[in-house]
Homo-oligomer: A and B are copies of this chain.
Amino acid sequence: MIGRLNHVAIAVPDLEAASASYANTLGAKVSAPQPEPDHGVTVVFVELPNTKIELLHPLGADSPIAGFLAKNPAGGIHHVCYEVDDILAARDKLKAEGARVLGDGEPKIGAHGKPVLFLHPKDFFGTLVELEQV
């Protein structure tokens, strides 16, 4: 069912410093910071040849990563995102297998403009899993 690893998301307390570190110290290609007010984050995309890293920083009062950074003030790896062809079919299969979908169970339009769902970390060994329909 799952296809490519779309991205690894890393929450960081200082987006400018993290972006500079990936660009200069690690020598990767990074984007300009991209505010995503609908998703409560500002994102810097680190473009690798086979996938991307997304550096996330809270934006606004209700950021979904504020709690994570409160628990992990230095930052940390927040989630992995796997691609699926059909997110509704994927959701139904996952629910039939007993996995819990976060929120109301309906796909939302994610930061890339495509339907996404998040799966409960307790069902995936402490890892927050995002599914994105491509």
Q: Give me the interface of A with B, judged by CB distance under 8 Å.
A: 1-5, 8, 10, 12-14, 17-18, 21, 24-28, 48-51, 53, 55, 72, 74-77, 80, 82, 93-94, 97-99, 121-127, 129
Contact = CB atoms under 8 A, between A and B. Distances in A.
Nearest to A49: B4
Nearest to A48: B5
A88 to B, nearest CB: 15
Contact of A82 (B1, B48, B82): B48
Nearest to A55: B125
Given A74-B125, A75-B127, A125-B76, A49 B3 contact: yes
A26 B125 contact: no
